Amino acid sequence: MKLEVEKELVRWKEAFDKTQECAVNTLSIALPGLGPSKTPTYCCPVTLTIDRPNDLGQGRICVDNDIRATVELDAVPNPVIAEAVDSLFGIAWFDGADGPLETAGPGTYNYDDEMTGGEYEIKLGTDGAGRVYIAYVPVGFAVEFLDALSTAQEHQRKRPAPV
């Protein structure tokens, strides 16, 4: 390999590694309790898990070589999911939702982002907890969603308990 090419390849690799590091930091700040985890051999180069399961669900986030994120969270309270989705996307943005998700009830709601190729699937469970699955989205989009979840959780905690 030519020396000039080798030098630039090293610079590119250093920038890529720094970008991956920034992605991990930003995702971890957006969703408190999220931290690095051992990456399975079949998975993306970076895997994060919630190190305090059940604080806001449980699950993992993977960051691939193209700096895209896949978010898989289970046992997330339905009201938190509904508030996060409605505040971030707007009312009735997802397929199957004719109004606010808060009033939509249990079920599966989807959105495919044609611009980024991202796939969103929200399941509101019958037991009061649901699932969030977001695949192949730019890290910035995943950060916005995780921050919306974290903010919704804070709002839900401040709400008075139903009488």
User: From CA 23, how far away is CA 46, in angstroms rounded?
Assistant: 10
**pTM exceeds 0.85 for this model:** yes
Which domains, and CATH codes, for the chain?
3-158 (3.30.1460)
Cβ-contact 111, 38 below 8 angstroms: no
Amino acid at 155: H
Distance (Å, whole) CA 14 – CA 49 = 25
How does pLDDT run across 78-115, given as a tens digit for each residue? 999 999 999 999 998 899 888 999 898 899 999 999 99
Q: What is the pLDDT of residues 32-49, one digit of tens each?
A: 888 888 776 677 788 898
CA-to-CA separations, 6 to 1, 12, 13, 66, in angstroms, rounded: 6, 10, 11, 21
Q: Convert the pLDDT of each residue in 9-27 to its tens digit.
A: 999 999 999 998 999 999 9
Tokens of 152: 């919704």
